Structure formats: structure tokens, C-alpha cells
Amino acid sequence: MSRGFGWHELLYVLRGLGWTLALSAMALTAGGLGGLIIALARQSRARLLRIVAGGFILLLQGTPVLMQLFLAFYGLAVLTGFRMDPWPAVILAFTLYAAAFLGEIWQGAIEAVPRTQWEAAHALGLRRHVILLRVVAPQAVRLAIPPTVGFLVQLVKSTAVASIIGFVELTRAGQLMVNVTFQPMLIYPLVAMLYFVVCWPISLLASWLERRLDVGRRPVGRMLGGT
């Protein structure tokens, strides 16, 4: 007899949710670091650095996350002769993904700080990296917060793709429970609701922050739609 959907099954799904959150948090942290490096590289005076960083962003924004995952999963173990577990491969893929998107958002925020700020600081005799750190960064951070929070929603949703390679996060946990209980009508909408419960408050926060921080320019944040 197929099992009914009871406490055990619900707990399994919730554990999957836990993994989704853990994966998102790790990708955000490591990706945040990476994004910072990318954004700074894009500001660098060394042209090669700017181009490589730009190429990285283009590569990761111009290809599906699913493909990036497949490549990390199958490719890395082959390339390095290193026995990859699914967990590190998944973290790597989403970290790179987050680094590219955050790098672009933060670069956009840096560029959105009016040129006059740079010029004035320069006229005052401040050196380039000091200007970046003390004058531009604080303003850029303000501009960057709403789209960064918005991207967090994007990131959490994208982790669903990890289910396709068998990583047991929320979506896969739901799938496995459907296979065991044969109740897709109950479980998939439940899974959708769990994502909603996590993502919607973050979306609302992003909107509130955008209004509160009085960010006039739209393009950096709004263009981040995503699926």
C-alpha cells in the first residue's frame, strides 16, 4: 500500500527546505565574496582584469543554471580527477552564479554613483582606492541593497534546479515524497507554498527598501526578473 502523507513525509519535505535555505545561504556568502571581487575587478584600471570579469559575468548570465550545474557535476570530477560529491559541486555552481549576478549588480551600483563625486574627491587630492572605499562605496551600498535583496529571491528559486541532478533540496524532497505517497495534488502545491513563504517576505523587503532608500534609478533592480 502506498504510504499516506503524514508527519514523516512532511518532515522529510521540511528537511528539504532546510537544505534549500542552507544552499542559498552558502551561495550568497561565498558568491557575495566573489561578487565583490568581480565588481572591483570591473573597476580596475587593468584592462585585462576588466575583460576577464566581464567575460565571467557574460558566461554565467548567458547560460542556463541547469547547464552550469551539469557542467560542475559531471565536468569537474573529470577535469581535476577529484572525487566530487554532489554537495560541493552544487555549492560551487551556485556560488559562481551568485558571484556573477551580484558582481554585476554591485558594479552597476558603483557606476550609478554620480561621476561628480569621483571628480570632487579627486580634486581634493584623494587617491583612487581611497575614493572607492570612503566616498563611493558607502553610496554604492545604499543603491545596491534593494537589488541585492531582490536577487536573493532569484537565488532561492534557482536552487530548485538542483533537484534535477538529484540533490535533495525542497523540490526533490517533494518529488520523492510524491513517488512514495502518490499524491501530487497535495505535495507540489505545498512545495510551491513553502517557496512562497520564504521568497515573498524577501521580495516585500526588497520593495520596501527600494522605496525607503529612495532609489531613483530603476534599471539595476527592476531588470532582474528571472524565472
* Least distance to other proteins, CB of residue 193, Å: 8
Q: Which of 46, 116, 185, 216 binds other proteins (CB under 8 A)?
A: 185
How far is 168 from 93, CA to CA, in rounded Å? 16
How far is 147 from 103, CA to CA, in rounded Å? 12
* Least distance to other proteins, CB of residue 158, Å: 7
86 touches other proteins by CB under 8 A: yes
Binding to other proteins in span 59-78, by CB under 8 A: 59, 62-68, 70-71, 74-75, 77-78
- Concatenated DSSP letters of 2-66: PPP--HHHHHHHHHHHHHHHHHHHHHHHHHHHHHHHHHHHHH-S-HHHHHHHHHHHHHHHSS-HH
Which CB atom, from 25 or from 223, has the smaller least distance to other proteins? Answer: 223
Closest C-alpha to 156, from 142, 171, 145:
171
131 touches other proteins by CB under 8 A: no
* Least distance to other proteins, CB of residue 74, Å: 4
164 touches other proteins by CB under 8 A: yes
One-letter amino acid of 109: A
Closest C-alpha to 110, from 59, 53, 42, 34:
42
The three three-digit cell numbers of residue 14, written as one number: 521540511
Binding to other proteins in span 194-213, by CB under 8 A: 195-196, 199-200, 203
How far is 95 from 85, CA to CA, in rounded Å? 16
* Least distance to other proteins, CB of residue 175, Å: 6
State the DSSP H helix or E strand holding residue 95, giving kind and residue range, or none if neither: helix 86-112
SS3 content of the chain, % helix, strand, coil (to 5): 80, 0, 20
Q: Which of 24, 95, 148, 158 binds other proteins (CB under 8 A)?
A: 158
* Least distance to other proteins, CB of residue 126, Å: 28
Q: Which of 41, 191, 206, 215 binds other proteins (CB under 8 A)?
A: 191
* Least distance to other proteins, CB of residue 73, Å: 8
10 touches other proteins by CB under 8 A: no
92 touches other proteins by CB under 8 A: no
Distances (CA, A) of 78 to 11, 120, 224: 36, 52, 34
Interaction pattern, residues 12-51, with other proteins; x per rule: CB under 8 A: x--x-----------------------------------x
Q: Which of 24, 43, 148, 171 binds other proteins (CB under 8 A)?
A: 171
